[in-house]
Structure 1
Amino acid sequence: MTHPHYDMATFWAAATAVYLLAGVIKGVVGLGLPTVSMALLALWMSPVQAAALLIVPSLVTNVWQTGPRATFMPVLRRIGGMQAGVVVGTLGGTLWLGVPEGAWASVALGVALMLYAGWGLTGRKLHVSDAQARWMGPLVGLVTGLVTAVTGVFAVPAVPYLQALGFERDSLIQAMGISFTTSTVVLAIGLAGSGDYPMSALGGSIAMLVPAIGGMVLGTWLRQRLSVAVFRRCFLGGLALLGLYMVVRALA
């Protein structure tokens, strides 16, 4: 990280706070760790640096979310085509567009956050049949992969699509865990392949695992004690404002 030495304590304290908050949100609503961490970290570091820090916390917390093993294969079979699309889209996107860097990447991330928050706040329910999923899954995966390559965020349009498949709540959480794990692994491969994942970032990424897991544990505890619907609306509203700020700042 190219920051003056005397700023490093503040830098890591702020990053730790971001991952604690992102972990709490994931613990309460089942998603949001990559989205929140990318959005907040990109306020003071480049999107590619933020994506490099994201890899280990995202991978571990999402692998945790892929259980239980008994239902893993049935869920994977339903979203297998989508996962293939994610792989092609993310790797193709990093080769074609490069990794998230510069003002245009901040604009793309801001727009992705606003679209995701806007969809979530409208509360629209979509439905995709198994027949439609056969062709729609790979297409949604491809677009999600391209968005991941440009912004480091895996949720658009993956989450609305997974919700439209009609999974029960536990299976939906598992499906998101599988999809986010695929995105994390392939993004790491894309970053490494482009030479933008220095080994020096690995130690910081591992360190961010502690506040992320601590936040998840706290968020799981909070979920039993507050209105998830109200929390989710506040979370999405905050994301929309943050996305708007990032676009305006990058274009100013």
Structure 2
Amino acid sequence: MTGTVLDYDPLTFAVIFAALALGGTMKGATGAGAPVIAIPVMAAFYDVRFAVVMMAIPGVVMNIMQLRKYHAAHLPDRFALKYAICGGTGTFLGTIILATLPVEALTLIIAGAVVAYILLRIARPGFKIPWEAARRLVWPVGLVSGVLQGSAGLSAPVSVSFLNALRIPREAFIVTISSLFTGMSLVQVPALIGFGLLTWDRALLSLAALIPLLGFMPVGNWLARRLPPVAFDRLVLVLLTILAVRLIWSALA
């Protein structure tokens, strides 16, 4: 970590609080997006490992909350459960990468995949992955998503892109992505502890991050209920665009 929590003035904490609040709003609206906003901001003041650890405990809490709220919207064939199991497996592998290896090259590869997907959606707005294909792809996509979550704290380039291409309703989107994130978080937290990255002081800071995140999730949910399905779909694409820019910037900086 490049600094400690005592190194910065209140303006630093205000910026981080605002990033967490915006992340909570995005999480409430789309079921994803909190790490996309919060991790790069915290990494700018501290480092990537610290930012990933900060979002570990909130990841468990927020996703379990959304699972309970939208559990009735589960997709058939235990799709979300398969997604979560593979995501958890990949997360353990990704945490090993986080603890031992740099991820710049992987980041650029994933950023390129996100950009390609966005361009595909622009060129072919009706692009959709058929359900039969999705049932086969859920295993490898979940695994890769977990590796990204464990190594960089961000699985959205793969996980969100995949679900967005299924063109499922918002409620089904949220419960499926929350299942994945829950499975990944339940593996990530003990793995971070085992590798010595999640210490007691960082765990307390991670718990404190829940205050703005949970406080602004209802704001995002309120906004989403007033958006038509097309607007929600565009909102997810905006999220992916922000994510792609962030990934490229962080890899080349």
Pairwise TM-score range, normalised by the shorter structure: 0.7 to 0.9
Unaligned runs of 5+ in 1: none
The alpha-carbon distance between structure 1 residues 190 and 47, as it changes in their structure 2 partners (threshold 3 A), is same
The alpha-carbon distance between structure 1 residues 85 and 179, as it changes in their structure 2 partners (threshold 3 A), is same
Q: What are the equivalent positions in structure 2 for 1:58-73 lying under 5 Å apart?
A: 58-68=59-69, 71=72
Q: Is 1:79 aligned with 2:106?
A: no
- Matched with 1:156 is 157
User: Is the CA contact 1:100–1:151 (under 8 Å) kept in the aligned structure 2?
Assistant: no
CA distance in structure 2 between the partners assigned to 1:217 and 1:121 by the alignment: 31
| SS, match of residue 43 in structure 1 | helix
The alignment's TM-score, normalised by the length of structure 1, stands at 0.81
Deviation at 1:231, TM superposition (A): 4.9
User: Is the CA contact 2:30–2:236 (under 8 Å) kept in the aligned structure 1?
Assistant: yes
User: Is the CA contact 1:94–1:191 (under 8 Å) kept in the aligned structure 2?
Assistant: yes
Deviation at 1:19, TM superposition (A): 0.3
Deviation at 1:109, TM superposition (A): 4.4
Q: What are the equivalent positions in structure 2 for 1:89-108 lying under 5 Å apart?
A: 89-95=90-96, 97-99=97-99, 104-105=102-103, 108=106
Q: Is 1:209 aligned with 2:210?
A: yes
Deviation at 1:149, TM superposition (A): 2.1
CA RMSD of aligned residues (A): 3.0
CA distance in structure 2 between the partners assigned to 1:220 and 1:69 by the alignment: 12
Task: Look up the equivalent residue of 2:195 and give its one-letter code.
Answer: S
- Matched with 1:126 is 128
Q: What are the equivalent positions in structure 2 for 1:1-252 lying under 5 Å apart?
A: 2-3=3-4, 5=6, 7=8, 9-68=10-69, 71=72, 77-95=78-96, 97-99=97-99, 104-105=102-103, 108-109=106-107, 112=110, 115-116=113-114, 119-120=117-118, 122-123=120-121, 125-130=127-132, 132-165=133-166, 167-223=168-224, 228=232, 231-232=235-236, 234-249=238-253
CA distance in structure 2 between the partners assigned to 1:32 and 1:68 by the alignment: 18
CA distance in structure 1 between the partners assigned to 2:20 and 2:84 by the alignment: 26
Deviation at 1:165, TM superposition (A): 4.7
Deviation at 1:218, TM superposition (A): 2.1
Deviation at 1:36, TM superposition (A): 1.8
CA distance in structure 1 between the partners assigned to 2:88 and 2:5 by the alignment: 37
The alpha-carbon distance between structure 1 residues 89 and 246, as it changes in their structure 2 partners (threshold 3 A), is same
Deviation at 1:150, TM superposition (A): 1.8
The alignment's TM-score, normalised by the length of structure 2, stands at 0.80
User: Is the CA contact 2:149–2:184 (under 8 Å) kept in the aligned structure 1?
Assistant: yes
CA distance in structure 1 between the partners assigned to 2:157 and 2:237 by the alignment: 17
User: Is the CA contact 2:142–2:180 (under 8 Å) kept in the aligned structure 1?
Assistant: no
User: Is the CA contact 2:107–2:248 (under 8 Å) kept in the aligned structure 1?
Assistant: no
| SS, match of residue 189 in structure 1 | helix
